[in-house]
Amino acid sequence: MFKYNNFFDKKIKLKKTKYCFFIDSVFSTQITAGFTSSFFTGQLPSDFSQLLSYIGKQANFSYMDQRHSADLTIVEEPGVYSVDGLFSKDKNHFLVVKTADCLPLFLAKKDHYVGIIHMGWRSAKEGILKNIPFDLADFKVVAGPGLRSCCYQVGTEFRKFGRIASYLKISPKGTFFDPVEFAKDQLFSKGLKRENFFDLGLCSYCSKHNFFSHRRNKTTKRSLSFIGIK
Ligand SMILES: [Zn+2]
C-alpha cells in the first residue's frame, strides 16, 4: 500500500501500480476507482482501453468531450457525451474524465450508482455541482488530483464571480481559488454528509508525484480518472 505524506485525509489509501493508482478504503468493494499514472498520456479512447486490458478487466466505458459546462447526464449506453459530468448505475461500465489541473470528482452511492465530474472554474461558476440530479445523502465523494489553492492563482475579476467569489484567498501574492472548499460546500448543500467527503490533497502543479499540469508547462498530456461498478 502506497501512502503520500501530504494526504489531507488519512482515511484514504491509494494502491499504486505501474499504470494507475486505485482509491482504496473509501467506496464499496464493488466499486473500482482510480486515476492513471504518467505511464499514460491520456489519449481517449485508446489509453483507457489499454488500461482495462492491463488491469485484467473487461468492461465498457464512457467519456466526455468536456466543454467546461455545467451539464451532467445519466448514461445507459457507452459513448462520448458532450457534458462535464457522467452518472451510471450499470455494472462493468466505467466513467472516465481527463484532467491536467481541473478537479476530478469521484462519486458513488454504495454500489448502486457512480459518477465522475470534471470541475474547472468555469463549470464551478456555472453551477455544475448544483445540477447533480441526485440527493447525495447516501453518496461518498473523493476529490482527485488537481490544481489546489496553493497554486490556483486567478485574476481579480474572480472577485465578481458570484458563486465562487467566497472561495478566494486574497494575499499579497495574489488571488487564489480553493476548488476543494467550494466543492465541499456545494456538495453538502446537495445532502452529502460531511464525513463522506474525502480529499486526496494532491496538487497537480506542485505535487512531486508527476501529475500533468497544464498551468505548469502547457502540456497536452492528461491524467484519466475513472470509476465503475464491478
Ligand atoms: Zn500546489
**pLDDT tens per residue, range 206-219:** 987 778 999 999 99
- The 80-81 sheet, strands edge to edge: 13-16, 20-24, 31-36, 223-229, 93-99, 60-64, 80-81
Distance 202 CA to ligand 1 centre (A): 8
Taking only the tens place, the pLDDT of each residue in 151-171 is: 999 999 999 999 999 999 999
Q: What is the pLDDT of residue 4?
A: 44
For residue 105, being part of any structural domain is answered with yes
CATH of the domain at 69: 3.60.140.10
Distance 101 CA to ligand 1 centre (A): 10
Confidence of residue 8 (pLDDT cuts 50, 70, 90): low
Distance 26 CA to ligand 1 centre (A): 24
pLDDT at 5 over 80: no
pLDDT at 32 over 60: yes
Distance 218 CA to ligand 1 centre (A): 16
pLDDT at 25 over 90: no
Distance 213 CA to ligand 1 centre (A): 10
Q: What is the pLDDT of residue 158?
A: 96
Question: Which of 36-50, 56-70, 205-219 bottoms out in mean pLDDT, i.e. has the lowest?
Answer: 205-219
Distance 55 CA to ligand 1 centre (A): 30
For residue 196, being part of any structural domain is answered with yes
Q: What is the pLDDT of residue 208?
A: 72
Distance 5 CA to ligand 1 centre (A): 14
- Mean pLDDT value across the chain: 93
Q: Which three cell numbers stand for residue 180?
A: 476543494
Distance 203 CA to ligand 1 centre (A): 5
For residue 116, being part of any structural domain is answered with yes
For residue 71, being part of any structural domain is answered with yes
Distance 163 CA to ligand 1 centre (A): 23
Q: What is the pLDDT of residue 9?
A: 61
Name the 3-class secondary structure at 52: helix
Q: What is the pLDDT of residue 39?
A: 94
* Mean pLDDT score, 49-60: 95
Distance 204 CA to ligand 1 centre (A): 7
Distance 150 CA to ligand 1 centre (A): 4
Burial 102-124 (b: 16+ CB within 10 A, else e): bbbbbbbbeeebbbbbbbbbbbb
Asked whether the CA dihedral 82, 87, 93, 94 is positive or negative, the reply is positive
Q: What is the pLDDT of residue 7?
A: 47
Confidence of residue 1 (pLDDT cuts 50, 70, 90): very low
**Tally of domains in the chain:** 1
Residue 10: burial class (beta carbons within 10 Å; 0-12, 13-18, 19+)? exposed
Percentage of the chain beyond pLDDT 90 is: 90
In whole angstroms, give the CA distance from residue 203 to residue 146: 5
Q: What is the DSSP letter of 177?
A: E
Domain of 208 in residue numbering reads as: 13-147+179-229
For residue 20, being part of any structural domain is answered with yes
In whole angstroms, give the CA distance from residue 69 to residue 107: 18
In this prediction the pTM is 0.94
For residue 173, being part of any structural domain is answered with no
Q: What is the DSSP letter of 38?
A: T
Give how far Cα 1 sits from Cα of 11, 20, 198, 210, Å: 13, 13, 18, 18
For residue 215, being part of any structural domain is answered with yes
Distance 142 CA to ligand 1 centre (A): 18
For residue 81, being part of any structural domain is answered with yes
